[in-house]
Amino acid sequence: MSKASLVALCRIGVLSCVLGSSIAGCKKDEPPPPLPAPPVVETAEAPLELKPEDAGPAVVPAPTPPKTGVRKSGLQQCCVALRQNAANAPEPTKGYMLYAAGLCDAAATQGRDKASAVGMLTSALKGAGLPSDCK
């Protein structure tokens, strides 16, 4: 064998040795172990709570004049009639009638008669008609 072929064989041997050892020496990376599963926490369902809906502002009943056992005067009957008519009247007439009924109650408490209060009630009603009990 010639010196050149020997050198070539050595080179091939060294290369195969280097390649063989590098292939055999390198290990493939192993995948990491799987993460532990999160613990299962059982929670009880919250009880269903039913809440009533808001029905709006509370309805306040109309104040009634105190009962004294005495027959109602003509002006007190007028005040009651104004409140009854206001219950079925559309706005803004309803507001005018309730205002007039309040004025009527104040006048009745002061002892005024129906004839002296009619003018004040008519202007408070702003065009809405007076009940027949007020005329």
Q: Per-residue pLDDT tens for 57-110?
A: 776 776 766 655 444 567 888 889 888 888 888 888 888 889 888 888 888 888
Closest CA to 117 of 99, 100, 96, 95: 100
Mean pLDDT within 103-121 = 85
3-state secondary structure of 114: helix
Q: What is the rounded CA–CA span in Å between residue 76 and residue 134?
A: 9
Contact 89, 50 (CB under 8 A): no
**pLDDT on residue 32:** 85
Regarding pTM above 0.75, the answer is: no
CA distance linking residue 17 with residue 22, whole number of Å: 8
Tokens of 101: 């009924």
pLDDT of the residue at 31: 86
Q: Which residue has the higher pLDDT, 90 or 55?
A: 90
